Amino acid sequence: LAENKKYHRVMLKLSGEALASDKGFGIDSDVVNRLCEEIKAVTKAGIEVAVVVGGGNFWRGLRGSGAGMDRASADYMGMLATVMNALALQDGLEKHGVDTRVQTAIEMRQVAEPYIRRRAVRHLEKGRVVIFAAGTGNPYFTTDTTAALRSAEIEADVMLMAKRGTDGVYDADPKFHPEAKMFTHLTYSEVLQKELKVMDNTAITLCMNNNIPIVVFNMDVPGNIEKACLGEKLGTLIER
Ligand code: UDP
C-alpha cells in the first residue's frame, strides 16, 4: 500500500455533516468511528494528514441557522461549531491510537493550541494528525476557503473534499436531473465559468493561484478516504 502512494501530505476537508448521522445534525459516534479508522489507515501508510472540519452540522452563518442575525456574530458561532467537531474528531482519533493535535484560529488556550503554521508542520512531520479548527478565524469566509488557505500554508500536495451523498462534481444537480453527468476532470476556470457548486469562488481561486489540485469524492463509500489519500482515481479532479 505504502509504495504506491502518490501524496506525501494531504489536506482532508470534512464538512460538519461528515460527522453527523444521516439526519445531518450533531455528531454520531459510529460515523466518527468509521472516519477515524480510515484516517488511521492513511497515517499507517505513512501519509501526513491535515484536516479542516466544517460546522454545518451545528450551525451555519447567514445562509443557515444564523439567518436574520448580524453576519459577523452568526459566522463566529459557525466557527465555534467547527471547534466542537474538531474535538470530537480528536477524541475519536486518539481512541484509535492516532496522535492528534487541534489548532484553532480563534484562541482558546484551555481547549486547543493556537494556530501556528510552523508548529502545525512540525506535528505533521512527526506523523501527528493536525485538525484545524475555527475556520480562518474571520467572518465572511467558509471552511472550504480555510482548507484551501491551510493547504497552501502547509504545502499540502492535494486538497481532498470528502462529500456525503455525491460521487463528485456534476453538470447539474443529480437529485433533480437524473441525466446529470459527473465530471472526472475539470480545470479551476471551468468550475468558475460554469458556476459549478463545488465550493465558493474564494476557495477555488485560492487553489488556482497556488496550484493546489482538488479531488471531490464520496466519503459514504467505505474505503474511499483511504483511496483518495493514496491518490487513486476517484470522483472529480480539479486542476490547472
Ligand atoms: N465560518 C466563518 N469563517 C471561516 C470559516 C467558517 O465565518 O473562516 C463560519 C460560517 O458562518 C460558516 C460556518 O462557520 O457557515 C460553518 O462552516 P461551513 O459552513 O464552511 O461548514 P461546512 O459546510 O463545511 O459544514
- Any residues with CB less than 8 A from the CB of 133 and at least 6 apart, and which? 53, 82, 83, 85, 86, 87, 102, 103, 104, 105, 112
pLDDT > 50? residue 20: yes
Hey, what amino acid is at 79?
Answer: M
Question: How high is the pLDDT of residue 67?
Answer: 83
pLDDT digits (tens, 9 = 90+) for 184-194: 999 999 999 99
User: Is the minimum distance from the CB of 149 to ligand 1 under 6 angstroms?
Assistant: no
Q: How far is the CA of 58 from the centre of ligand 1 (A)?
A: 10
Mean pLDDT of the region 1-6: 66
pLDDT digits (tens, 9 = 90+) for 136-162: 999 999 999 999 999 999 999 999 999
**CA-proximal residue: ligand 1, atom 13 (nearest):** 78
Mean pLDDT of the region 192-200: 94
pLDDT digits (tens, 9 = 90+) for 89-137: 999 999 999 999 999 999 999 999 999 999 999 999 999 999 999 999 9
Mean pLDDT of the region 224-229: 97
Question: How high is the pLDDT of residue 162?
Answer: 98
Task: Return the CATH fold of 2-239.
Answer: Carbamate kinase (3.40.1160)
Query: Is 76 annotated as contributing to ligand binding?
Result: no
> Residue 133 phi/psi, 5° resolution?
-115, 165
pLDDT > 70? residue 80: yes
In this prediction, residue 3 has a pLDDT band, given cuts at 50, 70 and 90, of low
Question: How high is the pLDDT of residue 94?
Answer: 98
pLDDT > 50? residue 1: no
Q: Please identify, by atom number, the ligand 1 atom nearest to the C-alpha of residue 146.
A: 8
**CA-proximal residue: ligand 1, atom 14 (nearest):** 78
Question: How high is the pLDDT of residue 26?
Answer: 97
> Residue 12 phi/psi, 5° resolution?
-105, 115
Q: Please identify, by atom number, the ligand 1 atom nearest to the C-alpha of residue 63.
A: 15
Mean pLDDT of the region 3-22: 92
Question: How high is the pLDDT of residue 128?
Answer: 98
Question: How high is the pLDDT of residue 83?
Answer: 98
Average pLDDT for the chain: 96
Question: How high is the pLDDT of residue 63?
Answer: 75
Query: Is 13 annotated as contributing to ligand binding?
Result: yes
pLDDT digits (tens, 9 = 90+) for 33-70: 999 999 999 999 999 999 999 999 999 887 778 888 99
Report the predicted TM-score, pTM, of the whole model to 2 decimal places. 0.96
Question: How high is the pLDDT of residue 4?
Answer: 65
Neighbours of 95 (CB within 10 A): 11
What are the cell numbers at 8? Answer: 506525501
Q: Is 38 exposed, middle or buried (0-12, 13-18, 19+ CB in 10 A)?
A: buried
Q: What ipTM score was computed for the predicted complex, to two decimals?
A: 0.97
